[in-house]
Amino acid sequence: MNDHPNDPFDELMRRALNAEADLVEPADGLHEIQARVRTQRKPVSRRPWAITAGAAVLGTAAAVGAFAVLSGDNRNAGDTEVAGPGASTSSAGAAVTPQPTAEQSVPPGDPTTTPSAPEPAVTTKPTRAGTLEPITSKSVPVYWLGDSVGATTGPKVRLYRTFTEIKGRPAFEALQLMTAAKSDDPDYQSPWVGATVGSVSRSDGLITVDFKQLPKQRLTSDVAGVALQQLVYTVQGAMQLTEPVEVTAQGKPATQLFGMEVKQPLSRAKTLDVQALIWVESPRNGAVVRTPLKVSGIAAAFEAQVNWRITSESTRQVVAEGPASTKEAGMLLPYSFTVKALPAGSYRLDVFEFSAEDGRQTSTDSKTIYVK
């Protein structure tokens, strides 16, 4: 409120202001005002949630752009798929492979592929053909048939064992020798001559011997039984196993061998039923030796005693003889003896047993040796 309406000073000021206003020309000052505002504006700090939201917007735009590039038909050489069928992407655009469920499995080496149906379980169980025996270098046993000299009961032939050095598959190489009748003792024979071995394998506790060609000989039942054990003992001895042996011909079980029906697989017979009751292991047939001569072998003898004799090949005269013993009667156990002096020459060595019934010579094993 103006408490002094007639004040000369106030009247003078009003007149001056009106005159000044009449001199002002109206104009659009918006741009000038905005310019002044920009020069005076101070920085404003952003809030954390604003930064996060901005990054998310940028990340989403980048992901969409990347997907558009990889999905195009103008992909450069060397580009790879980011994800396979059924894969998803994260908010950052990286591929995420779905994990297989309990009813699905992902093939090894292909983590991006999800099968449309469950994969069959992989098994390590050997096939019917089995696993071939490993190659090795060793001394392996080979069994042969020899006459059971002086026997009045039991089989007419029995198994005799020799050893040979091989470098290959032990059982396969041993059978190759057995079917070729390559024994260094002419007293030992093999009815398997003429057969051709294809392979020896093992699977699920069973040894399988597959023949390309089976033996063609026909034998009496008692001799055929020992011949089958010749195969069983040779294979098991070479592989150092006692598992049953199945004989097959080009993959099919053999139903007849040596003219008689056979049941597969073949089990190992008791040693005293088929093995020779006395055999000489050293020296080997045809060996060149020096004296003193040490002889060793295996025997299952009555009263644990065997007898030996050395005969000159040139004069047919006995030049030395005597007894030897094992530790226990009636069991296949080692024996040994030493001959102190023999003149140079060719000799026949016999190791045998005298029958408790009538004193006849039985279970003889013989070797030819050459003394230097």
Contact 274, 293 (CB under 8 A): no
The reply to whether 361 and 293 lie within a common domain is yes
Q: Look up residue 47 and give its DSSP letter.
A: P
Q: The dihedral of CA 274, 366, 173, 221: what is its sign? A: negative
The reply to whether 160 and 256 lie within a common domain is yes
Torsion-angle region of 228 (φ positive above 0: left; ψ -120 to 50: alpha; else: beta): alpha
Which of 115-119, 160-164, 240-244, 363-367 is least confident? 115-119
Greater pLDDT, 181 or 84: 181
Phi/psi of residue 268, nearest 5 degrees: -80, 125
Over the stretch 100-110, which tens digit does the pLDDT of each residue have? 333 333 333 33
Tell whether 103 is covered by a domain: no
The reply to whether 137 and 270 lie within a common domain is yes
Mean pLDDT of 286-298: 96
The reply to whether 242 and 135 lie within a common domain is yes
Tell whether 338 is covered by a domain: yes
Over the stretch 67-96, which tens digit does the pLDDT of each residue have? 333 333 333 333 332 233 333 333 333 333
CATH number at residue 332: 2.60.40.1220
Share of the chain above pLDDT 90, in %: 55
The reply to whether 261 and 293 lie within a common domain is no
User: Domain ends where: 252, 274, 296?
Assistant: 274
Tell whether 34 is covered by a domain: no
pLDDT band at 159 (very low <50, low <70, confident <90, very high): very high
Contact 362, 306 (CB under 8 A): no
User: Domain ends where: 238, 257, 274?
Assistant: 274
**Domain of 349?**
278-371
- 312-336: b (≥16 Cβ within 10 Å) or e: beeeeeeebeeebbbeeeeebeebe
CA gap 114, 128 in Å, rounded: 32
The reply to whether 255 and 321 lie within a common domain is no
What residues contact 121, with CB distance under 8 A and at least 6 apart? Answer: none
pTM of the model: 0.64
* pLDDT > 60? residue 46: no
